[in-house]
């Protein structure tokens, strides 16, 4: 188990998490959030004024508090409040709702880093830290995460015993809403699915948030790996922690080679540039990396409306088309094929 658990610095507030979400059956997962993000950003991967984002959600019939205050990232531009794109927004805008989005959405909630905005109250930058601590103090270390472990009663018991809240009561509604979110993401199945792309998604999301919060001058692989360790990110993976740690460093290296948050501005990854010239390297990459890169090729070079259709057929011709387009448009990459393989291969701590 990792040991870098973040330390709470101030009391928790009840906040707007007690509102009725009206997000439908648990079978829908976080589809309602996926839709809300698309409405709020109007399918455009650019910062949106917070007030405009809020208005768009209200006009679309959404309760804006939960997406705005608990999931998307807030900041300022010229002293005006904005909501910024990151991996969660990218995934919502670039692909249809699926189970991997549900996992990333829950990870975002548990990460509890939503930035700051003018007019925000103390503690709103980490609005669901109590949910993160429920994972760390009640679920971490268990071999499985069964629904009985995170029932509303168990969550309420934890919240009542912590005595960390200020500003009134209301822990029952917090507990039922958090249990509902755990059900939306099928928390008990996190460690049972074969597709590991959610690990890369989660690492990218965490690094996006910490980069926008800290604005480090020493951006690079060392910063990325240290940031993940210092904030105990793998602890949030529960029974999947050891696997998460294995791929965490790979994903961190991939993140920095993809230019961090600048990738969301259209900056093309050096890694993809290598693959444009040596496409057979796909077969030598860890599946988690290969899947991530193929998704990026789809998003950037294949019409989004055809994604669902392509998932049902052999899509190699579309990969080839994307690779050809990359080859013709990119500058010569600074990596060669062997260096790329070394970049994304799991490394021993002794190396």
DSSP 18-67: GS------GGGTTHHHHHHHHHHHTT--S-EEHHHHHHHHHHTT--THHI
- Identify each DSSP E strand in 61-153 by its residue range: 73-77, 80-84
pLDDT tens digits for range 32-75: 999 999 999 998 889 999 999 999 999 999 989 999 999 999 99
Per-residue pLDDT of the chain (351 residues; tens, 9 = 90+): 444 555 555 778 766 676 666 777 778 899 999 999 999 999 888 999 999 999 999 999 998 999 999 999 999 999 999 999 999 998 898 788 988 899 999 999 999 999 999 998 878 899 898 899 999 888 887 877 888 999 999 999 998 887 777 655 578 888 888 999 998 888 877 655 556 678 888 999 999 999 999 999 999 989 999 999 999 999 888 777 877 887 788 788 778 877 788 877 754 444 555 554 455 555 555 555 555 555 554 444 434 444 444 344 444 454 445 445 444 444 444 555 566 556 555 454 444
Tell me the pLDDT of the chain averaged across its residues.
76
- Identify each DSSP E strand in the chain by its residue range: 12-13, 48-49, 73-77, 80-84, 165-166
Distances (CA, A) of 277 to 17, 265, 272, 281, 300: 49, 23, 9, 9, 17
What global pTM score does this model have?
Answer: 0.77
First CA to last CA distance, the chain = 21
Query: What is the rounded CA–CA span in Å between residue 267 and residue 161?
Result: 48
Query: What is the rounded CA–CA span in Å between residue 218 and residue 200?
Result: 22
- Main-chain phi, psi angles of 13, to 5 degrees: -110, 150
Contact 102, 186 (CB under 8 A): yes
pLDDT tens digits for range 233-282: 998 887 778 778 877 887 887 788 777 888 777 544 445 555 544 555 55
Domain boundaries, the chain: 268-346
Q: Is 283 helix (H, G, I), strand (E, B) or coil?
A: helix
């Amino acid at each position: 188990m990792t040991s870098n658990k973040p330390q709470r610095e101030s009391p928790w507030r009840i906040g707007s998490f007690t509102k009725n979400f009206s997000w439908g059956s648990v079978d829908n997962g976080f589809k309602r959030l996926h839709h809300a993000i698309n409405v709020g950003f109007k399918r455009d991967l650019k910062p949106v004024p917070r007030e405009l984002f809020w208005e768009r959600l209200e006009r679309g019939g959404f309760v804006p508090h939960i997406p705005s205050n608990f999931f998307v990232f807030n900041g300022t531009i010229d002293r005006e409040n904005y909501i910024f794109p990151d991996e969660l927004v990218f995934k919502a805008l670039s692909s249809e709702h699926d189970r991997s989005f549900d996992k990333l959405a829950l990870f975002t909630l548990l990460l509890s880093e939503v930035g700051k905005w003018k007019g925000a109250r103390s503690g709103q930058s980490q609005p669901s830290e109590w949910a993160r601590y429920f994972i760390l103090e009640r679920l971490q270390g268990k071999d499985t995460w069964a629904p009985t472990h995170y029932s509303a009663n168990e969550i309420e018991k934890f919240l009542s015993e912590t005595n960390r809240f200020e500003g009134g009561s209301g822990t029952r509604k917090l507990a039922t809403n958090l249990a509902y979110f755990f059900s939306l993401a099928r928390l008990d199945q996190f460690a049972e699915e074969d597709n590991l792309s959610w690990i890369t998604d989660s690492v990218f999301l965490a690094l996006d948030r910490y980069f926008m919060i800290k604005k480090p001058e020493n951006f690079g692989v060392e910063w990325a790996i240290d940031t993940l360790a210092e904030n105990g990110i793998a602890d949030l993976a529960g029974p999947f922690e050891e696997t998460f740690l294995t791929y965490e460093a790979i994903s961190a290296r991939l993140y920095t080679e993809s230019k961090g948050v600048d990738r969301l501005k259209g900056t093309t990854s050096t890694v993809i540039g290598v693959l444009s010239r040596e496409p057979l390297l796909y077969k030598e990459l860890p599946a988690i990396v290969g899947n991530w890169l193929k998704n990026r090729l789809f998003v950037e070079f294949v019409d989004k409306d055809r994604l669902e259709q392509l998932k049902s057929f052999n899509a190699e011709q579309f990969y080839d088309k994307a690779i050809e387009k990359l080859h013709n448009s990119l500058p010569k990459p600074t990596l060669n094929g062997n260096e790329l393989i070394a970049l994304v291969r799991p490394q021993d701590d002794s190396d």
